[in-house]
Amino acid sequence: MLMATLSLTALIGCSSAPTKSTPAEKPQPKGPEFALARTAFQKTYVAARGWAPDAKPFRLESVNTTDSTGKDGKSSVWRASYASAAQKEVKPYLWSGTDAEGAPARGVSFGSVDSYNPTNSSTVIFDIAFLKVDSDKALEVAQKHGGDKLLEKTPDLPVWYVLDWNRATNELVWHVSYGESRDTPKLNIAVNASTGDFIRVEK
């Protein structure tokens, strides 16, 4: 009887001993997501149509960050600007796939609303049906007209992408720029965004 009591006491003592909890694993930081222009554009388009049912784009551009310099036609941040004739306003939308310093929060966000003037040459709207050539294909064309030589010499040279409507020639144009600054590029190539044809070397 004594042995049985001692065994029971030992069992109770073992079962009541505190269990060690394993420390929770820290979530690993999420890496940047890089997207082609059309993928990011579609996400901003849905948001823009929620703002104004008649919203139409007039500019799409890559935004280079510390983890994205436009390689392979992709960027971790894209900005699409829209105009609404009914509301007489323009509004930029941004898609972000990065937590890089200075970048907008991941997902789709929007910027400040401004007034819309349809006669302004910098806000010429276009139909999205004209956008048939993605940013990676535009880069391929630009590479064949001088871009490859620049990147061969300077592999880390940033590449920038801007899409807008050329009112003079009535065509949607990709502007692929190579340089530390988009405003003062070493090379700027214009590519037809509907056909993929090389247009010209821009100055």
Per-residue pLDDT of the chain (203 residues; tens, 9 = 90+): 434 443 434 444 444 445 555 556 666 778 999 999 999 999 999 999 999 999 999 999 999 999 999 999 999 999 999 999 999 999 999 999 999 999 999 999 999 999 999 999 999 999 999 999 999 999 999 999 999 999 999 999 999 999 999 999 999 999 999 999 988 999 999 999 999 999 999 97
1 domain-assigned: no
78 domain-assigned: yes
Task: Find the domain containing 88 and state its range.
Answer: 37-202
In this prediction the pTM is: 0.85
21 domain-assigned: no
**Separation between Cα atoms, residue 82 and residue 43, nearest integer Å:** 13
Rounded alpha-carbon distances, angstroms, from residue 105 to 67, 117, 161: 15, 30, 21
69 domain-assigned: yes
3 domain-assigned: no
12 domain-assigned: no
Task: Specify the number of domains making up the chain.
Answer: 1
Q: Are 57 and 84 in contact (CB under 8 A)?
A: no
156 domain-assigned: yes
195 domain-assigned: yes
Angle (CA) 171-69-127 rounded to 5° is 20
